[in-house]
Amino acid sequence: MLVAVTAVTVTFLFGLSSLDGLFRAGVDVRFEATRAGKVDEVTRYLRSLESETSQLATSPMTVDAARRFITAYGELPGRGGGIRDEAIETLLPLYRDEYLPELMEATGRPVSLDSILPQTSGAVYLQTAYFGAAGDIGVEPDNIDDAFDGSTWSAVHAELHPVYRDLATTLGFADIFIIDADTSSIVYSVAKNIDFATSLDAGPGSGGALSAVATRVWRDPTRGSVTVMDFTRYTPDLASPMAFFGSPILDGERLIGILVTKISTDGINEIMTNREDWEAIGLGDTGEAFIVGSDGRLRSDSRVYVEDPETYFEEAVATGTLSEEDVPGVKAAGTTALFQRMDLATLDAAGSAGGAAITSTNYLGIPVMTTLEPLGVDGLDWSVVVQASREEIASIVNGVGKASAVTIVMFILILTFVSVAWASGFVRPVRTLTRRLRAVTRGEDIPDGEAAASNASTTREFAALTAGIEEMAAGLVSREHMLDEALKERSDIVRRFLPADVVRRLEAGERDLVERIPNATVVAIVIDGLGTLADHESADDVRRRLDRVIIGFDDLAAKHGLERVKIVGDTYFAVCGLGRPYLDHAPRSVAFAEEALRTFAGDRTASGALDVSIGIASGPIAAGLAGSHRLIYDTWGATVSDAGFLARAARPNTVVASASVIEQLPESVLTRRWEDISGIGPTWEILTTAPSEGAPA
């Protein structure tokens, strides 16, 4: 006991003297881990947005959409100035009474009405049509597919808008713009803000970030390139922070348009706040991670603002890092990005420290430990900053010291009692043996009960130990069984959403699951009539019926060697040749499409029938896991876009295939020349029955 007490006391005193240094080292390690993790997450998130913008701009669907929207925009009625002045009167109440007061409150300064009114007749016409239609039925303009104004533009919009709206939602974009490269007019917008249909040369979009990113793309229209514009306060969004990604739309070698995607701070904030769970990444009660630009302004939210806005505004204004004029802007935008400032001297000192934590004060004047790491993304001069209150760190050190002292005292007291009891039990057999030896020496007998009691005591100790080990072993077996069941359940869930080959590769430890498949066939099935079905049946009935249809498709796909890869809106995508190569992938896909069409034809209820149209295309595709925060298996490429486009272009309950599919089919398959489609070429209709008399086959 003396040796143990001496060793513990000396160790405690030595540890106490070095506890602060050890804890500071631990803080540096934890800061580094948190900082590096956030740098990696944000980088992958931005790379994902950049890649998605590039793929969207280069897709045949977008090239065709740009051509059609640009042409239809040029045919809009009311191109004369007089007509524009008369028509704009219908928009004045919306701008003057609703938008302008909100904008002036957000910016804290007067704004001229003329500076935000649309300057072109095309913008006035489309805003009048779509803003008016949205107001009539009480929805947002982006939910209007067709304003029923009779224009060619609205007809094109009714066909393409649901696709781009779903893409914006799925990919996390606040808006997607298509801009005419010749006139600088915004010929299409998903969100339909006040910049909708305006010209970047005049009006609310001129001279701003959207105009700047479009100009940069126009000057260097390299196919697949992406120009990034840092967060700026964008007037059409009530001066809220918005960032832009721009990429050229090329028809052959000619620049016809510019695709621009817009992102808000929501995705960045979700990463940097760890979905408002700072403690889970080791930041305690006061620590936070945020992004700051080279101008010293934050690009993500302050933790204090998220947890206690009133305290944040009071302390930030008192410290001078947030002006009183910016408070309404923060409230209107719902974020501190671009409003909150960080001390530039602290920023420079942290950048020069090489990742080590420095002592400083934060933007609220609170003493903190600060560490910084540059992000390293082209076009964005950002750094990830991690801070924690020095008071919290000191309290942890003091608390650890006090807790250690109490633990040592308790340990010594317990050790004293345990040592006495243990020593007594340890020497009991020796005393029994000594008495026996003395009795033998004296010629006396020892009662059998004493020996039995001694043996029984020893036996109970070992029996208890054995029972404890067996109980522990049984518990381990039970936990192992529970773990196996949990892993099996997780594996079953993953198999429901990912192809079998991908699941096998994930379970084998692979993580780099993006590959190019040189030859495969994509089948796209568009299910039409869901809206009508939803109007007449309950949500549960619609869901059960749709689940039954999708399960039926999955069973038929597995039967013919195809794999379902995704369901986008009302479109079901399956691929043959993805996980397992087939020489006859095109015939298999056609057989699947024919059987799916036959099976689906009888799917009717009293409320109506669900029709399908099927498109098939063959060629190279790229497949893999997409996104940085969500496990999504997806396919990309012109082949996927062609199949989806053909499915939407086909008549209900027909199958249309591209020339690349027809070339691989046996002569026994009946086909009929359908039509030539720009960007795809000649297409054929697959006849599931014999063609009518006189029809070319």
Tens of pLDDT, residue by residue over 153-193, are 999 999 999 999 999 999 999 999 999 999 999 999 999 99
> What's the mean pLDDT in 427-441?
64
Confidence of residue 251 (pLDDT cuts 50, 70, 90): very high
Distance CA 253, CA 193 (A): 31
pTM of the shown model: 0.57
pLDDT at 456 over 50: no
The reported pLDDT for the residue numbered 604 is: 59
pLDDT at 400 over 80: no
Q: What is the mean pLDDT of the chain?
A: 84
pLDDT at 453 over 60: no
DSSP string, 439-470: HHHHTPPPPHHHHHHHHHHHHHHHHHHHHHHH
200-235 per-position pLDDT tens digit? 987 777 788 999 999 999 999 999 999 999 999 999
Comparing 109 with 430, the larger pLDDT belongs to 109
Q: Which of 69, 510, 2, 497 is nearest to 258 (CA)?
A: 69
Distance CA 22, CA 284 (A): 18
Specify which of 307-321, 438-452, 563-577 reaches the highest per-range mean pLDDT: 307-321
Three-class SS of 51-74: HHHHHHHHCHHHHHHHHHHHHHHH
The first and second tokens of residue 208, run together, are 């701003």
Confidence of residue 694 (pLDDT cuts 50, 70, 90): very low
476-517 per-position pLDDT tens digit? 667 777 877 766 776 665 565 566 666 676 666 666 667 889
Distance CA 667, CA 671 (A): 9
Confidence of residue 81 (pLDDT cuts 50, 70, 90): very low
Distance CA 361, CA 607 (A): 66
The reported pLDDT for the residue numbered 691 is: 44
> What's the mean pLDDT in 419-426?
75
- What is 59-264's CATH number? 3.30.450.20
pLDDT at 684 over 70: yes
The reported pLDDT for the residue numbered 617 is: 95
Four-residue CA torsion sign, 495, 501, 502, 504: positive
pLDDT at 452 over 50: no
The first and second tokens of residue 614, run together, are 């099927």
615-626 per-position pLDDT tens digit? 999 999 998 876
Confidence of residue 141 (pLDDT cuts 50, 70, 90): very high
Q: Of 110-119, 414-423, 596-605, where does mean pLDDT reach its minimum? A: 596-605
pLDDT > 70: percent of the chain: 80
pLDDT > 90: percent of the chain: 52
Side chain identity, residue 169:
T
pLDDT at 450 over 70: no
Question: What are the residue boundaries of the structural domains of the chain, listed by start?
Answer: 59-264, 447-497, 512-686
DSSP 297: B
> What's the mean pLDDT in 397-417?
72
State how far Cα 473 lies from the chain centre.
43
Confidence of residue 695 (pLDDT cuts 50, 70, 90): very low
Confidence of residue 368 (pLDDT cuts 50, 70, 90): very high
369: number of Cβ within 10 Å: 22
DSSP 34: H
* CATH architecture of residue range(s) 512-686: 2-Layer Sandwich (3.30)
> What's the mean pLDDT in 398-420?
74
Q: List C-alpha distances in Å: 560 to 518, 549, 552, 582.
A: 20, 17, 13, 11
> What's the mean pLDDT in 402-417?
77
571-609 per-position pLDDT tens digit? 999 999 987 889 999 999 999 999 998 887 656 554 566
Q: CA angle, corner 190, sides to 186 and 192, nearest 5? A: 70
Confidence of residue 696 (pLDDT cuts 50, 70, 90): very low
